[in-house]
């Protein structure tokens, strides 16, 4: 844990990419091999499941620190991060233990299913033997809130420098369903684990600001719809059939509608596409809300399968009869994809995502304006000669999304943020007018500058009406423009409305609460979107 804590401190102390890569490279060269595996796992989102509740940690920490529960809660409200609050309040360690990262995480895994007394004893013993930074990291592993502020691509680059394996090769080998508890470092680096069903790293598009005129003549570009579903890779290999989400989650069982494809796709086929809930009668996607009802379910009831049948619209072909073709031009990959799909029998839940024809950029802009009528968010632009690259690389793939929906709303509640914003109020609840009352309808926490958050924080501290733990009720005075990508009905919210990707577009200092939007205007938008 000491070496891992030193790595964390080195990464936290700099914003320079070169310094971060150097720190990671040194760690991957010298740390114990089992610790390296867990570090790769943590930096690729493979965190151990939580075995202790937040309530238990708060009670145990207050007891260990010798303070009353109310004082712990007050401290937590100020710090804003549970792991950091505990690390700050605990007394100095009895003796510094030389605990390895591998030992610490395996100990956490063993806590699952044990009685509270055993879990409490194990956690208190760990706290007693760890220094301040090691405690902080241990607590973040306990709470499931572990973040290191390092992009996966940067970590892969450092690992490539430490091992001598090509970066693109490593990026592929780190994908898939490997278990850090049972995978050795050598097996991980060699790519032997899970190769049959391993996906490729996803190619990601950059956001196109303004118009596409800056991309040059339109002749070298192809366009397709930007769908609002689940990005996925469908793998059909001799010993595997799998569907992976962009977040490297195996979701095959959640979409049994796609299972018949295993019988018809040629062996050695890997397709990149979008999983959508499909309206066969209208020949277009259902709203994302229909697909969302299936997300998170390990088994899908027959009624839901009938109401929101899944369909995969294919963007790209990455593997053709076992051949990796990612380095071939997009037009070549697209032609091969269409040849495979054309040969399939009709009625299967798989089709190519249609290309959008356009003669010039003006014509494409007019087509993009009608994207919501097609059930899309905008258009994608891909250079005809582009390879299928790993991660986000500016220049070849662009997403040109429609401008978001927006409404003016008033802040009703405020809560402190986390991490570096733990001392600022950044998480807000907003309301719109419903007759003579104001009804809360969404939360948002992004879109403003640090200076604006600091100004709002001072206002919240001076104007708090009530406190509910870390939440402050404030007067309905500050108006903000809230942007969002979609709107849907929701029985979970008092307003009956839920927004997709809400964020603050700007602080409307020029508007008063009497000028905010109404719940009826949101309902009208919902009817139009449906």
The 3-state DSSP class for residue 408 equals strand
pLDDT for res 349: 96
Contact indicator for 7, 24 with CB cutoff of 8 Å:
yes
Q: What is the DSSP string of 214-258?
A: GG--GGGEEEEEEE-SEEEEEEEETTEEEEEETTS-B-GGG-GGG
Local confidence pLDDT in tens for the 530 residues of the chain: 889 989 988 888 888 999 999 999 999 999 999 999 999 999 888 888 888 898 999 999 999 999 999 999 888 877 778 888 999 999 988 776 778 999 999 999 899 889 999 999 999 999 988 888 888 889 988 887 777 778 888 999 999 999 999 998 898 888 887 889 999 999 999 887 666 788 999 999 999 988 899 999 999 999 999 998 999 999 999 889 999 999 888 899 889 999 999 999 999 999 999 999 999 888 899 888 788 888 877 788 899 999 999 999 999 999 999 999 999 999 999 999 999 999 999 999 999 999 999 999 999 999 999 998 888 999 999 999 999 998 888 899 999 998 888 999 999 999 988 766 778 899 999 999 999 899 999 999 999 998 999 999 999 999 999 988 789 999 999 999 999 988 887 777 788 888 888 999 999 998 999 999 999 989 888 877 66
CA nearest 23: which of 37, 3, 43, 38?
3
Set out the domains of the chain in order of their start, with CATH numbers.
2-143 (1.10.3260.10), 203-396 (3.30.470.30), 405-529 (2.40.50.140)
Whole-angstrom distance, CA of residue 412 vs CA of residue 437: 12
Contact indicator for 97, 129 with CB cutoff of 8 Å:
yes
CA nearest 132: which of 2, 7, 20?
2
pLDDT for res 75: 87
């Amino acid at each position: 844990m000491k070496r891992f804590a030193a790595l964390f401190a080195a990464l936290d102390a700099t914003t320079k990419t070169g310094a971060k890569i150097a720190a990671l490279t040194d760690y991957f060269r010298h740390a114990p091999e089992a610790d390296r595996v867990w570090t790769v796992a943590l930096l690729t989102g493979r965190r151990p499941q939580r075995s202790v509740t937040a309530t238990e940690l708060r009670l145990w920490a207050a007891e260990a620190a010798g303070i009353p529960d109310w004082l712990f809660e007050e401290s937590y409200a100020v710090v804003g991060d549970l792991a950091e609050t505990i690390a700050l309040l605990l007394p100095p360690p009895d003796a510094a233990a030389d605990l390895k990262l591998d030992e610490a995480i395996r100990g956490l895994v063993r806590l699952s299913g044990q009685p509270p007394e055993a879990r409490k004893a194990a956690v208190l013993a760990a706290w007693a033997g760890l220094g301040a930074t090691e405690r902080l990291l241990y607590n973040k592993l306990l709470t499931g809130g572990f973040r290191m502020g390092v992009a996966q691509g940067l970590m892969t680059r450092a690992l490539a420098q430490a091992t001598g394996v090509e970066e693109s090769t490593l990026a592929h080998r780190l994908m898939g369903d490997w278990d850090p508890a049972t995978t050795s470092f050598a097996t991980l680096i060699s790519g032997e684990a899970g190769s049959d069903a391993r996906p490729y790293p996803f190619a990601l598009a950059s956001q196109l600001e303004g118009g596409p005129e800056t991309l040059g003549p339109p002749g070298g570009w192809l366009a397709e719809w930007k769908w609002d579903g689940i990005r996925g890779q469908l793998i059909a290999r001799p010993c595997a059939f799998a569907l992976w989400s962009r977040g490297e989650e195996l979701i095959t069982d959640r979409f049994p509608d796609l299972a018949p494809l295993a019988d018809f796709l040629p062996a050695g086929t890997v397709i990149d596409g979008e999983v959508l809930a499909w309206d066969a009668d209208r020949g277009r996607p259902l709203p994302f809300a229909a697909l969302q009802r299936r997300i998170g379910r390990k088994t899908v009831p027959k009624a839901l399968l009938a109401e929101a049948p899944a369909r995969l619209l294919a963007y790209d072909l990455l593997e053709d009869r076992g051949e990796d073709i990612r380095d071939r031009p997009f037009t070549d990959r697209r032609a091969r994809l269409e040849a495979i799909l054309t040969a399939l029998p009709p009625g299967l839940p798989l089709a190519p995502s249609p290309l959008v024809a356009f003669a010039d950029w003006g014509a494409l802009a007019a087509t993009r304006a009608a994207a919501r009528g097609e059930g899309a968010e905008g258009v994608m632009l891909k250079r005809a000669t582009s390879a299928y690259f790993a991660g986000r690389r500016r220049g070849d793939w662009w997403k040109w999304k429609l401008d978001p929906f927006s409404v003016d709303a008033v802040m009703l509640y405020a809560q402190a943020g986390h991490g570096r914003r733990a001392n600022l109020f950044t998480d807000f609840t907003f309301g719109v007018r419903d007759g003579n009352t104001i009804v809360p309808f969404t939360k948002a926490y992004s879109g403003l500058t640090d200076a604006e958050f600091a100004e709002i924080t001072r206002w919240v501290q001076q104007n708090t009406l009530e406190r509910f733990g870390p939440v402050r009720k404030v007067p309905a005075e500050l108006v903000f423009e809230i942007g969002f990508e979609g709107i849907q009905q929701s029985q979970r919210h008092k307003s009956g409305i839920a927004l997709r990707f809400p964020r603050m577009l700007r602080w409307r200092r020029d508007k008063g609460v009497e000028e905010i939007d109404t719940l009826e205007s949101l309902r009208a938008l919902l009817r139009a979107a449906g």
